[in-house]
Amino acid sequence: MKHSEHKLPNGLKVLLKEIHSAPIISHWLWVRAGSRDETPGITGASHWVEHMQFKGTEQFPSGELDKDISREGGFWNAMTYLDWTTYFETMPADKIDLALRLEADRFQHSLFEVDEVESERTVIISERQGNENSPIFNLDEDVQTAAFASHPYRHEVIGEMKDLETMTRDDLYNHYKTYYVPSNAILAIAGDFDTQTMLARVNELFAPIPAGEMPTRIAEDEAQPTQEQRVETHGPGETTFLRASYRAPKATDPDFFALSVLDSLLSGPSSINLFGGGISNKTSKLYKTMVETDLAVSVGGGLQATIDPFLYALTFTLHPDRKVEDLLTPFDAEIKKLQDSKPNQAELDRAIKQAKALFAYGSESITNQAFWLGFAEMFDSYSWFESYLERLEAVSPADIQKVAQKYLDPNRRVLGIYVPEGAA
Q: What is the pLDDT of residues 89-142, one digit of tens each?
A: 999 999 999 999 999 999 999 999 999 999 999 999 999 999 999 999 999 999
Q: Are strands 24-31 and 413-420 parallel, antiparallel or unpaired?
A: unpaired
Provide the CB-side half-sphere exposure for 392 (13 A, CA).
25
Kind and range of the H or E run holding 347: helix 345-361
The answer to whether residue 389 scores a pLDDT higher than 80 is yes
**What is the residue-averaged pLDDT of the chain?**
94
CB 29 within 8 A of CB 179: no
Report pLDDT digits (tens) over 192-219: 999 999 999 999 999 999 999 999 999 9
Which residues of 11-59 form beta strands (DSSP E)?
13-18, 24-31
**Counting Cβ atoms within 10 Å, is residue 418 exposed (0-12), middle (13-18) or buried (19+)?**
buried
Give the pairing type, strands 185-191 and 4-7. Answer: unpaired
Cα 301 from Cα 311, distance rounded (Å): 11
- Taken in order of first residue, the domains within the chain and their CATH numbers are 4-206 (3.30.830.10), 229-420 (3.30.830.10)
213-230 as b/e: b if 16+ CB within 10 A? eebeeebeebeebeeeee
* pLDDT of amino acid 274: 60
Q: For 77-102, what is each residue's pLDDT tens digit? A: 999 999 999 999 999 999 999 999 99
Entry pTM: 0.95
- Decide if pLDDT at 423 tops 70: no
With vertex at residue 414, the alpha carbon angle to CA 411 and CA 418, rounded to the nearest 5 degrees, is 140
Cα distance between the two ends of the chain: 53
Measured distance CA(256)–CA(399) in Å, rounded: 11
